[in-house]
Structures are given as C-alpha cells and as structure tokens.
Amino acid sequence: MISAIQKKFVITAMVAITVLVLFLLGAINVANMLIVGNEIDRTLRVISENEGGEGNQMPRPEFARPDLPVGVPKNDYDTFMSSNFFVVRFDRSGDVVHTDVSRTSTVSEEAAVELAQEIYRSGGDSGKAENFRYIVKENYIRSEKSVFFLDISTESFSYIRVLLLSVGAGAVCWGLMLLFVIMLSRRAIRPIAENIEKQKQFVTNAGHEIKTPLAIIQSNTEAMEMYNGENKWSRNIREQTVRLGGLMNNLLTLARMDEGTAKANVIELDLSTALEDVVRSFMQPMEAKDITFKVEIQNGVYLNSDRTQMEQLLSILLDNAVKYTDESGEIWIYLQKNGKHTRLRIENTCKNLPDVPPDKLFDRFYRGDASRTQKSGGYGVGLAIARSFADANGGALRAEYIASDRICFTVEF
C-alpha cells in the first residue's frame, strides 16, 4: 500500500510538471515562430516597398548608423542588404518583363520565372513556396505585377533549432524533476506511511488480543448452557461471539494482505472445476430465494494461483450476489479464457443499487445499508478482501452498474 501511495504521488506530481513543461515549451516555440514570422513579413515589406532595389525608395546608406551601439535591431537598409531574395515582374498580359536573381545564388533565372509563373497563375497575394515566402504587389503606374520571393531557409532552420534545443532542455529538466520528485515523495509520504503501519500493527495486535476473550466467552457460554440449558440470552451471546470472531478473522486477513505476510501458494489451479464446486455450494441459498441462475463456464481454464485464496474470492463474490439479489431475481456466472487472458463475470439483479460509484463498494466497512443493521449478515469487508485476493494473484477486480437494476463484478487475469 505504501508503494502504491508513493507511486500515485509521483504520477500526480509528474503529470503537473509535464503539463507545465509542455506549456512552457509550447509558449517558447510559438513565441519564436511569431517573432520570426513578423521579421519575415517586415523584410518582405521592405523589399516590396523598394521595388527590389530598383525604385526611388531604395533605402539610403546614410540610414545605416555605424555609431549605434551593438545589439540595436536592424534598420530597413541593413534588413534589405542582408536579405536573400529575387523578383519577377509581369506585364498586364502576364508576360515576364523583368527577372532579378542577383541577390540569391541558389535560384537560376529559369527556375525563378517558373516558380513566379506558378504563383501568378494561382492568383494568391502571399504565401510560402518551397523555401521561399512570397508577396505579390501591383504597380498601377507601370501596369505591372511583381512577385517578391524571400529565402527563409535560415528562418526555418531557426524554428527547428529552437524546437530541438527546447525539447532537449525540457527532457533534461523533466528527468531531473522526476528524480527530485521520487526522492521528495519518500519524505512527503513518510507521516502517512508511519500512520498506516501503526494502523496495521494495531489491527493485528488487537485481533490477536480479542481472540482470547472471545474464546473464553464462547467456552463459558457453552458451559453455562450445559448446566442451565440453552436460552435466548445464551444463543445471542454465542451468535454475536461467532460474528465478532468472523469479523476479527477478516480484519486479520486484510492486515496480512496489506503487510505482504500472506504468502500465496501458487499452483496450476483448474479454475473451471473450482468455480463449479463453489456454485454447487450456493445452490441451496439460491433455491431458498427462488433465484434463477445461468452458468456458462468454459472447460479447462487453468490459472497459476493460490487455491485457498481463489476459492475464497469466488465464495465472496457469489455470496455477495446471492445476498443482494432480490427474491425471484437472476444471477449470471461466466468464465472464459481468450488467449492468455482469463475473465470471470458474476452479474446479478438488484432493485436498489447503491447510490455511490461502483468502486466505492470495495471500501472497507462500506455497507449499502446506511443503518448498518445485521440483516444481511455481512461485515462490510468482504469485497475489500476479494480485491486483495485478486491483486495477490495477478488479477484485477472491478464493479460496474450495467443497468438500472443490474450489477456486475469482473475479475480479469
């Protein structure tokens, strides 16, 4: 149980850390993409406004201020001069009238014309083509349309570089945080672990201490009945002594399962035969309540498990089904094996299903009867013991409400 609590603590903490790391990485990369994208748009605007360097709006060299301190953002002139771009102009009829590839060494004039014609025919105003961002501008005075292409391969590499660096840094931080959380979890759950250990030890010690007075009360009651005869008071004493003894045995079983001292004697168990034997033992109680039952047990289902624990698991589930099935109700029992997986399902009708989530039924001392009367004869720990037996034998026990008046318990191995 302690390891399960520590595991939940680590998982919960790491989920929160993972969400935070992913948010930070996403924010960094999105911010980088927006900044670089804005810079690309600005560069294209500078190039297009200056007609590729041929118009009168060409940035003048005197705007480059060599006396500015290092780290100041580029002005329009520096941006223009450091950009790799090419320009293709079309006349009104769509014929190429000018091509300028002097500012790039990776694109030939023929390739530039072919790419520009494709953009011209598409009718788009801006976008991305191969490793270039483009913008289409129309000069109404010259009756020309120009397509400006800016090489963004460096910017694309910047995206990837920032992404890889951020992911690498995030993975390293996540790993370090995992180690830190694991070390911290031991200290964080130490008070809980000590409290749980004290509770387990208390149950174990109390159980052994109570056994002796129970045995004395029972033997004295029997002796009293031998001398004075049986009466309703002696019967009540004997019944309640037996009931309390059963409760203490169940509590000791749970304590041993929690402490891991209940060692399983694993054998190859014929689960089909074991289930048939347990079902036969419940025939009389089912007939007494006029319960209709349907049994589908696949033959030859074997399971490596502890015979005693599995028989008690089956008995608890069937006893629970019979106990809470109404008069003239129905019970379905299925056992199937599919490959390496074995599934046991026990369903029963119940007019008044508990108004709690199904998993709540496995809580210790939970009783569907809010008044906690002894009408059902249970202690409220049977299903908790059944789940412990299932876990100890490599299985998983769960409950579900499959209809408004039908409940199902499933064990999967």
Distance CA 138, CA 48 (A): 10
Question: Quick one: 147 exposed, middle or buried, by C-beta within 10 A (0-12, 13-18, 19+)?
Answer: buried
- Helix pair 307-324, 271-281: axis angle to 10 deg: 40
Pairing mode, if any, of strands 330-338 and 292-297? Answer: parallel
| pLDDT band of 71, cuts 50, 70, 90 | low
Percentages of the chain per state (helix, strand, coil), in multiples of 5: 55, 20, 25
Mean per-residue pLDDT for 159-180?
Answer: 89
Share of the chain above pLDDT 90, in %: 3
Q: Each residue of 313-346: pLDDT tens digit?
A: 888 888 888 888 888 888 888 888 888 888 888 8
What is the average pLDDT across 178-185?
A: 85
Tell me what pLDDT residue 328 has: 84
For the chain, list the domains and their CATH numbers: 1-188 (no CATH), 190-262 (1.10.287.130), 263-413 (3.30.565.10)
Choose among 94, 182, 75, 79: nearest CA to 136: 94
pLDDT exceeds cutoff 80 at 406: yes
Q: What token pair was written down for 306?
A: 């502890």
Q: Which pLDDT value is given to residue 255?
A: 65
What separation in angstroms does the CA of 398 have from each of 256, 356, 386?
22, 14, 10
pLDDT of residue 19: 92
Identify the pLDDT of residue 56. 41
Mean pLDDT of the 401-406 span? 83
Q: Please give the order of strands across the beta sheet that includes 132-139.
A: 96-100, 85-90, 144-151, 132-139, 126-129
Q: DSSP letters of 238-252?
A: HHHHHHHHHHHHHHH
- Are 170 and 18 in contact by the 8 Å Cβ rule? The answer is no
Split at pLDDT 50, 70, 90, the class of 73 is: low
Q: Work out the pLDDT band at 57, boundaries 50, 70, 90.
A: very low
Q: pTM of the entire structure? A: 0.51
Q: How far is CA 157 from CA 102, 127, 151, 260, 271, in A?
A: 23, 18, 12, 56, 62
> Which string of DSSP letters, residue by residue, matches 155-168?
HHHHHHHHHHHHHH
Q: Degrees (nearest 5) of the Cα angle 42, 46, 50?
A: 165
Query: CB within 8 A of 242, min separation 6: which ones?
Result: 218
Out of 103-107, 169-173, 194-198, least confident range: 194-198
What is the model's pLDDT at position 379? 57
Q: Shortest CA distance to 20 belongs to which of 181, 226, 236?
A: 181
CA distance 382 to 246: 11
d(CA 189, CA 201): 18
The 10s digit of each residue's pLDDT in 130-140 is 888 888 888 77
Spatial distance between the Cα atoms of 180 and 356, rounded to a whole number of angstroms: 37
